[in-house]
């Protein structure tokens, strides 16, 4: 029997990360779930037979501990930890929130990838999937800090692919549009539930976390010579960032 493949998923305590951990486990991976909230990770890990690892991707020591927990051979790394903080226009945006967004969406991805590259190489068939966003494709009002960070995610993904060509490591980006997860919009709006809910109001069937997880799992189950560079995924009701069908 061939050896079980290992996948590391960051931001796995909820939303797209948790769904991805579940889907990859269902595909037969040994999944290492990383996030700051260990209690939530442990619950999911117990359900899917995975490993929970408390990890703040912005903290190098914490990322080193994740690499240790993952072990010497890792086949898939899903850099999902990220988020949007604040909805202020450029004129009044808080630089601290912009730094926080760059830190988690870009530096975190860098540090996790750096720490796990030796193990990805050792697998002989490694894959990095960076979770970007349609916010990494266009600009929109009051999203400047987040769109800047997600454009960076896209470009860093492309740079990784250039620098690692010739190695047994594939590099992909999955860029979702509207995904209705319990936390993303709420965090972005500073805990204002009404404002968070308004984003999806009247939109028939926004994506759910499992839809994105499905895309990641599809990429992770292609043959080793097939690199899916990028996959943009939106609900049918979203033709473009600003063109969203609403029934009310």
CA 154 to CA 177: how far, in whole Å? 14
- Write down the least CB distance from residue 235 to ligand 8X3, Å: 11
Coil, helix or strand at residue 6: strand
Residue placing its CB nearer to ligand 8X3 in the complex, 17 or 126: 17
H/E stretch holding 67 reads helix 60-70
User: Which of 45, 163, 147 lies closest to 86, judged by CA?
Assistant: 147
Q: What is the DSSP letter of 125?
A: S
**Among positive and negative, which fits the CA dihedral 201, 206, 210, 212?**
negative
Q: Parallel, antiparallel, or unpaired for β 51-54 and 30-35?
A: parallel
- Write down the least CB distance from residue 31 to ligand 8X3, Å: 23
- Write down the least CB distance from residue 177 to ligand 8X3, Å: 5
Positions marked catalytic? 146
- Per the listing, tokens 């190489």 go with 121
66, 34 in Cβ contact below 8 A? yes
Cα 161 to chain center, whole Å? 17
Residue placing its CB nearer to ligand 8X3 in the complex, 142 or 227: 142
Residue placing its CB nearer to ligand 8X3 in the complex, 163 or 192: 192
CA 217 to CA 248: how far, in whole Å? 34
Residue placing its CB nearer to ligand 8X3 in the complex, 135 or 213: 135
Contact residues toward ligand 8X3 (CB under 6 A) are 133-135, 177-178
- Write down the least CB distance from residue 84 to ligand 8X3, Å: 7
CA 158 to CA 161: how far, in whole Å? 5
- H and E: helices and strands count for the chain: 9, 9
Residue placing its CB nearer to ligand 8X3 in the complex, 145 or 177: 177
- Write down the least CB distance from residue 151 to ligand 8X3, Å: 11
- Per the listing, tokens 């926004």 go with 206
């Amino acid at each position: 029997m061939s050896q079980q493949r290992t996948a590391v998923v960051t931001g796995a305590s909820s939303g797209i990360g948790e769904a991805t951990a579940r889907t990859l486990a269902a595909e037969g991976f040994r999944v290492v779930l990383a996030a700051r909230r260990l209690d939530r990770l442990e619950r999911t890990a117990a359900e899917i037979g995975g490993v929970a690892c408390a990890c703040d991707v912005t903290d190098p020591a914490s990322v080193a501990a994740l690499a240790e927990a993952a072990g010497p051979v890792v086949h898939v790394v899903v850099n999902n930890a990220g988020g949007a903080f604040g909805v202020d226009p450029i004129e009044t945006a808080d630089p601290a929130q912009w730094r926080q967004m760059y830190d988690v969406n870009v530096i975190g991805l860098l540090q996790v990838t750096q720490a796990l590259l030796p193990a990805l190489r050792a697998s002989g068939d490694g894959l990095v999937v960076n979770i970007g966003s349609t916010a990494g494709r266009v600009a929109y009002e009051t999203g400047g800090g987040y769109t800047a960070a997600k454009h960076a995610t896209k470009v860093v993904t492309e740079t990784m692919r250039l620098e690692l060509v010739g190695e047994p490591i594939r590099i992909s980006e999955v860029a979702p549009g509207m995904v209705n997860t319990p936390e993303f919009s709420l965090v972005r709006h500073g805990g204002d539930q009404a404002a968070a809910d308004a984003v999806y109001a009247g939109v028939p069937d926004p994506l759910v976390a499992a839809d994105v997880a499905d895309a990641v799992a599809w990429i992770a189950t292609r043959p080793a010579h097939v690199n899916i560079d990028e996959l943009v995924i939106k609900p049918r009701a979203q033709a473009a960032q600003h063109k969203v069908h609403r029934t009310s």
